[in-house]
Structure formats: structure tokens, C-alpha cells
Amino acid sequence: MTSSQAASSARWVVPLVDVLVDDELRSLVDEVVDSGWWSMGPRVGEFEAAFAELTHTTHAFAVANGTAALHLALLAAGCGPGDEVILPSLNFVAAANAIGHTGATPVFCDIVGTDDLNLDPADLEAAVTPATKAVLLLHYGGFPCDIAAVRALAAERGLIVIEDAAHAPGASWHGEPCGSLGSVGCFSFFSNKNLPVGEGGMIVTDDDDLAERLRLLRSHGMTTLTWEKHRGHAASYDVVAQGFNYRLDEIRAAIGLRQLSRLPEENAQRRAIAATYRDRLADVEDISMPFGAVADGTTTAQHLFVLPRARLTSAPSPDRGNRSAHHHLAALRAHDGRAGRPRCPRPQRDAPGRLDTLREARRDQFSKRPLAVLLDDLAVELDSAALT
Ligand SMILES: Cc1ncc(COP(=O)(O)O)c(C=O)c1O
């Protein structure tokens, strides 16, 4: 380990990523390698079927990553130049990028506040214009957003609802799984996610027309997969759309299937660990802990445990030209190029008590597999000018 690696690893209090590697996982990967067929094939099909089951949907498409999932979902929904797509401002940059790549314009709406980091339905409504085509909502940190309000608005204004469920595999709203709450749902299997594969993503939908477009767009608009030809089930193919190569491979599908089987147990562990954090941090001054009261009927995937800075608790401004701190925070994330970079909690000379509390909380945790924690309070290097 170099000294800079040592210095940076010393700053971590709670790891952002901690994947479980065991012999079963290794043997599943070996099996694929030994099979001699590594590109999209039967394991991808199995992974898709299992994911459709998890999300209670009729179609699931495995793709190369969560950003590809968002891009394809937006394209399949018909988003393009001249359209506006509304997304919550507290977000990862992938959603705004994916919207931009379709030619549509990302339009940010605010979040509810520091207790609820999901989109504010009232601000969503205020952001709708005649050009609005879709809402790309996010279940922030694995907590389902207020889908009832979004659905009502979407029905009234003719909007397509796309879910960024990257944080929310296994989460649900009144028994309906996240990913199935709108027209099309997108997941990410990046290493820090609840279902870590390295890279990978999934798109789910009940809509047959969307499904057909997704199927074509994922693989160059080709009517037949190479796997079909490999098995001798097809001799040729046609190209009927301008698509992409956003396919997933067999090795990742095998890992994904294994991770999916562990998801319910691991999500339960995350919830239990979060409860421990909540308990141990209850007396710490100057922090707030969002999503304290999980909305009735919702099950969280508890992807993140977020501690916003106290100074972000200012009330949102009603003036759209001078948006709230939440908006600035997210706009910064979406556009400053640093968005989404893993944040290392670093000791703060003025707040040793907080770190000690966190260390203690971690020491006491009863699982080998820690919760991925976004320690905004200690870790995000915010430009204070952007928050005024
Ligand atoms: C909320 C959210 N959406 C989308 C993505 C993009 O997923 P991927 O990294 O798999 O492209 C991520 C993160 O990685 C994310 O956190």
C-alpha cells in the first residue's frame, strides 16, 4: 500500500462498499467460464426472469449498467429533442446525463426537505410545462417516494413515469415493488449498490410496446440475438432500429443471480444496522436523520444512511428563481463533475465527538456486511458559496 492509499483508507470510518466473496460465488463464475459462452445467454435470461418475479413485472431486460437502463427507458418512452423530463434535484448525475443524451432537457424539481429527501410533489407540479414528457423519479436512499401524488399528477397531465430505482431493489410501496410503480423502472448493480455485480443494470416494465422497443434498442435493433444463432435456433437477423450494445454478459448474470438470492436478507440487515446507527446517533447535536418516520405501507431497501449538514435545514424558498439549499446541493452534484464520487468521511477537528460516535456505532454493529453510508455531514466537500 502506498502512503497516499494508506492515508486515504485511514480516513474511512464506514466503508461505502463491502462485497461478500465466498466459494459459492467463485464456483458460479467458474461454471460460466468453463461453459465457453460468456456473452448474453441463458443466465442473463434466468436473471431477468428472477428480477421480473422480484418486481412483479412481465418484462425484465438486463443491461450493461444503470445509466444504460435510464437511457433506454427514456428512449423507449419516446423522450427526445423538444421534450422536458423532470427529475428531483437531489440526485446522481446519471439521470440528468441520460436525459441529456436523448436530446430532451432535464428540469429539476426540489425535494421535500431534510426529513424526506424524495421529490416534492408540489414542486414537481410547479415544474410541469406543455413540453413535459416524463417524470424520472428517484427513490432516494432506497426509500419509496410519494408515488400516489406522482401518479395522480401524471394521469392529469399525461406524463410518463420512469423510476430510477437504483437505490431501491427490494423496496416496496403498499406491496408494489419499486421499479413497478410507474411505466418503466431502472436498476443499477454497481459495486456500491444493494445488489452489487460490479457493473450491470435492469429495466422492468409491464408495457408490451415499451418492452419491444427496449429489446431492440438494447442490442443494435437486431431481431435475433447471437446466442440464438450460437444454439442454431436462428440463421440470420434483421436490423429494424438504431440501437446500442447495452447487453449484460453471462458472468455478471451469474453473480447477479447469486446476489439476488441474498437481497432480502441483506436488505433486512441494512435496516437493522440503520436502526442501530439511528439509535447511537440520536443524541448527537447538529445532525438530522432523514426518513425517521418511514411512510406507512412502505418497505425501504435502506441503500443509504444519510446525515445532512445542519445548515441545509433552512426552509425551502418559495421563489423558483432562488431555490432552496436542497436544490443547490443537487445542482452542484449534477453539474460539477464531482457528483457521485465516493466520499471519504474525514476527521473534522471541530467535531471529534461525532466521529467517535460513528466509530462506536460501527464497532457495535452485528453484521460482517456494513451498510453503505453516505456521510454528507462529514464527507461531502460542498462549495459553501453554492449553498447561500
Ligand atoms: C440514483 C442512481 N441512478 C443511476 C445510477 C447509475 O448507475 P450505474 O453506475 O450502474 O450506471 C446510480 C449509480 O451508480 C445511482 O446512484
* Cα 232–Cα 233–Cα 237 angle in degrees, nearest 5: 100
Residue 295: what pLDDT? 80
Query: Does 182 share its domain with 311?
Result: no
- Which of 17, 63, 67, 139 for a ligand 1 pocket mutation test, highest count of atoms within 8 Å of Cβ? 67
Report CA(78)–ligand 1 centroid distance (Å): 21
**225, 288: one domain:** no
How many domains does the chain fold into? Answer: 2
Same-domain pairing of 282 and 254: no
Task: Examine the domain organization and report whether 160 and 225 are in the same domain.
Answer: yes
Q: Are residues 222 and 284 in the same domain?
A: no
Indicate if 224 and 83 belong to the same structural domain: yes
User: Which residue among 238, 259, 280 closes a domain?
Assistant: 259
Query: 147 and 276: one domain?
Result: no
197 alpha carbon – ligand 1 mean position (Å): 13
**Which among 41, 277, 97, 266 is positioned nearest to 169, based on CA atoms?**
266
- State the distance from the centre of ligand 1 to the C-alpha of 167, rounded, in angstroms: 8
Atom of ligand 1 lying closest to residue 67 CA: 11
Ligand 1 site residues (CB inside 6 A) read 65-67, 92, 94-95, 138, 164, 166-167, 188, 190, 201
Atom 16 in ligand 1: which residue has the minimum CA distance?
92
Which of 89, 190, 304 has most ligand 1 atoms within 8 Å of its beta carbon, as the pocket-test mutant? 190
Expressed in angstroms and rounded, the spacing between residue 36 Cα and the centre of ligand 1 is: 30
CA angle 194, 199, 201 (to 5 degrees): 70
Residue 63 has φ and ψ, to the nearest 5°, of -135, 175
- State the distance from the centre of ligand 1 to the C-alpha of 188, rounded, in angstroms: 6
Q: 35 and 116: one domain?
A: yes
- Residuewise pLDDT in 10s, the chain (388 residues): 444 454 455 555 566 677 889 999 999 999 999 999 999 999 999 999 999 999 999 999 999 999 999 999 999 999 999 999 999 999 999 999 999 999 999 999 999 988 899 999 999 999 999 999 999 999 999 999 999 999 999 999 999 999 999 999 999 999 999 999 999 999 999 999 999 999 999 999 999 999 999 999 999 999 877 767 677 777 778 898 999 999 999 999 999 999 999 999 999 999 998 898 888 888 877 777 899 887 889 999 999 988 776 544 444 444 433 333 333 333 333 332 223 332 223 323 333 333 344 444 433 332 222 333 333 333 332 222 222 2
Last residue of a domain, one of 213, 239, 259: 259
What are the residue numbers of the active site? 193
Position in ligand 1 atom list of the atom nearest CA 201:
10
* Residues 151 and 299 grouped into a single domain: no
pTM of model > 0.85: no
Q: Which domain holds residue 71?
A: 23-259
How far does the centroid of ligand 1 lie from the alpha carbon of residue 292, in Å?
Answer: 24
β-partners of residue 132 are 84
Answer yes or no: do 239 and 91 share one domain: yes
CATH of the domain at 173: 3.40.640.10
Mutational test site, ligand 1, from 92, 143, 248, max ligand atoms within 8 Å of CB: 92
Give the nearest ligand 1 atom to 188 CA. Answer: 10
Contacts of 32 (CB under 8 A, 6+ apart): 38, 43, 250, 251, 254
Which residue has a Cα nearest atom 7 of ligand 1? 66
Matching residue, cell 418475479: 53
Q: Which of 259, 288, 311 is a domain's end point?
A: 259
The answer to whether residues 158 and 236 belong to one domain is: yes
93 and 183 belong to one structural domain: yes
Q: Atom 3, ligand 1: which residue's CA is nearest?
A: 166
